[in-house]
Amino acid sequence: MILKIKSPQNAKSAQAIAGQQQEHNVAFFLRRAYKDNPEVLVINDFKFSFNDETAQIDHLIVYPYGFVLLESKSIKGHVKVNKQQEWTRSYSKQWSGMPSPIKQVELQQALLKQLLNHNRLEVLGKMFGIKQGFSGRCWDHLCVVSSDAIIDRKSMPKAVSEKLVKSEFLVDKTKEIMNIRNKFMRVVNIADSRPYFNKEELDSIGSFLINQHLDTTVEPSLAPPASSRLTQPIAKPVVTAPQSIEQSYAVEATTMIRVALQCKHCGESNNYTPMYGKFGYYIKCNQCTKNTPMKQACPQCKSKQTRVQKSQDTYTLNCQECSFSQQIV
């Protein structure tokens, strides 16, 4: 299931454009493989901060046994890694050194582990009175390079070669790493001692991480105060010059659909407070003091495969089936 798509960026240089294309290619393969799998959560372009440090993970996979971090690199020519794990690449027949993407993603992984362990009670709670943590889970990372890169694996250390994969083989590699077993096999297969997250814990981790994402594409000064969004209707999107009749009908249908967010107990639709808890985002009614989940079926296609995403003080309902998206708070 895709929790977050690749964030749009205004790349200008040729190198930045190539890097963006590589990240989109990786996101494409992940979407094709896991968009309908509720046990594999994919977060693209995840930026977070903890303990005065900030990290950006190109692609993060959360699954029942742990985490896989992916670092995308656009490498069109040759790539070599010596015994000291120093990287070199060729471009236009010129060789130059480059920072190790493996070391880069290792730093990201360490900070993510610290963030999760620091908030483990909020995310996982206790089991049998024991505080659960994330250090004993599976933690893996890969560097994903362009499919047309030429990799010299003969002189490359085995430890590096195992973490270096081309985009076209990424899905096979991640499935091999995750080795997800069905619920029955998790119980009867005593040889597999990996602790795993249940569905409730997996959803809690996904909601927590999405809440931590730093959305740099939103300008805070342009966003209205949270209080005003609770009482004012959502403005219709501005549409300019549809290029076809089909687009016109699609736009018209979108402007007619409204997400009805209200207290399921008393029906209050204005006087509430957005909140976050173990089971995701919800609103607390200031009239009857009861809670209502923000997550609901898609108003356009009626699918239940939806997610609520938070950016600053804005909450958006996103449908995984028809790509419907609308601000709800």
- CA dist 11 to 7, 18, 235, 281, 300, Å? 12, 9, 30, 33, 33
Question: Please, is 215 exposed, middle or buried when counting C-beta atoms within 10 Å of its C-beta (0-12, 13-18, 19+)?
Answer: middle
Least trusted range by pLDDT, from 62-76, 88-102, 216-230: 216-230
C-alpha dihedral (190, 191, 193, 198), degrees to nearest 10: -60
- Mean pLDDT to the nearest integer, 31-50: 95
Beta strands in 148-271 (DSSP E): 150-151, 164-166
Question: Percent of the chain scored above 70 by pLDDT?
Answer: 81
User: pLDDT tens digit string along 207-254?
Assistant: 999 999 987 664 443 434 443 333 344 444 444 444 444 444 444 444
**More confident site: 185 or 71:** 71
Least trusted range by pLDDT, from 55-64, 135-144, 293-302: 293-302
pLDDT (0 to 100) of residue 253: 44
Q: pTM for this one?
A: 0.65
pLDDT (0 to 100) of residue 263: 85
pLDDT (0 to 100) of residue 114: 95
| Residue 114: closest CA among 42, 166, 50, 174 | 50
